[in-house]
């Protein structure tokens, strides 16, 4: 475990020595703040309009958690599809390009320790990003009247974190197969975007194929968590996605090590 933590510390230092982590974190928080206040402003405008109507049927269906919090989390999920590859594209590809990866594999470290340490490093950066976003719902809970229900906020945060870690593991796996950071970044975006929209043809396909595509979609798995429901099926899915990314990274680096 000491070796894993040493690799994790090394990755964190490399992230925060370069401006990439600062740009990604600040950009994510700024985008999150923009969409949060935009959704909140639209919600307040709709409330003001519906309150002036004699027929207030839709008003009972207008919920702060569903409109603002859930809408924010779904928007952030789309943003993460494009931002996480910026963090993972260099995590292995840069070391292979510079030749420093050979120093790692010749050291008394296993490939699994290297992969796990690097994943913990990028996972820590992702956690910092998401904690910055959590400030907005908490501010609404402290100063809103009435504020949002906090259970969907925390379950949605957990879903967003698990989904982000799954994206990071897939991005790291893609980075393990190439020495070019640009190729790694673009390829990761394509893979994550395909994973994001994989459920789109499920309804028209129907049957077993439609059920499989629905299950493979992170959007469909995280949807209930955004609404305050944590299911075992979603947890198994995200942990399996993380394991798949780590396994592919290890296999790719094992093959590179024995060339």
225-256 pLDDT, tens digit per residue, is: 888 888 899 999 999 999 999 999 888 877 76
Non-local (6+) Cβ contacts of 252 within 8 A are 173, 176, 177
- Burial of 112 by CB count in 10 Å (0-12 exposed, 13-18 middle, 19+ buried)? middle
90-149: per-residue pLDDT in tens? 787 666 666 666 666 666 678 788 888 889 999 999 999 999 898 888 888 887 667 778
33 close to 136: Cβ distance less than 8 angstroms: yes
Report the C-alpha gap between 80 and 19 in whole angstroms.
Answer: 18
**pTM, whole model, 2 decimals?**
0.88
The confidence score (pLDDT) of residue 57 equals 53
User: What's the gap between Cα 227 and its chain centre?
Assistant: 17
Per-residue model confidence as pLDDT tens digits over 32-69: 999 999 988 888 887 777 767 665 555 555 677 888 88
Domain ranges of the chain: 2-257
Q: Average per-residue pLDDT in the chain?
A: 83
């Amino acid at each position: 475990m000491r070796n894993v933590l040493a690799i994790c510390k090394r990755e964190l230092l490399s992230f925060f020595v370069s401006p990439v982590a600062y740009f990604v974190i600040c950009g994510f928080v700024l985008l999150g703040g923009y969409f949060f206040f935009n959704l909140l402003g639209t919600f307040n405008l709709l409330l003001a309009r519906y309150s002036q109507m004699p027929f207030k049927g839709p008003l009972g269906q207008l919920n702060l958690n569903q409109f603002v919090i859930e809408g924010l989390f779904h928007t952030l999920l789309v943003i993460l599809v494009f931002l996480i590859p910026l963090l993972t594209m260099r995590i292995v590809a840069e070391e292979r390009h510079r030749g420093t990866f050979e120093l790692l594999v010749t050291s008394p470290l296993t490939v699994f320790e290297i992969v796990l340490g690097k994943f913990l490093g990028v996972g820590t950066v992702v956690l910092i990003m998401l904690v910055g976003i959590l400030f907005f719902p908490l501010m609404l809970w402290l100063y809103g009247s009435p504020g949002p229900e906090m259970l969907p906020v925390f379950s949605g945060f957990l879903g967003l974190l698990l989904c982000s870690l799954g994206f990071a593991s897939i991005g790291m796996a893609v980075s393990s197969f190439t020495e070019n950071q640009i190729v790694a970044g673009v390829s990761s975006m394509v893979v994550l975007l395909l994973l994001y929209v994989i459920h789109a043809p499920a309804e028209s396909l129907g049957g077993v194929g439609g059920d499989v595509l629905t299950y493979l979609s992170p959007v469909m798995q995280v949807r209930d968590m955004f609404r305050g429901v944590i299911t075992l099926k979603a947890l198994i899915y995200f942990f399996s996605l993380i394991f798949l990314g780590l396994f592919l990274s290890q296999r790719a680096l094992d093959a590179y090590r024995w060339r």
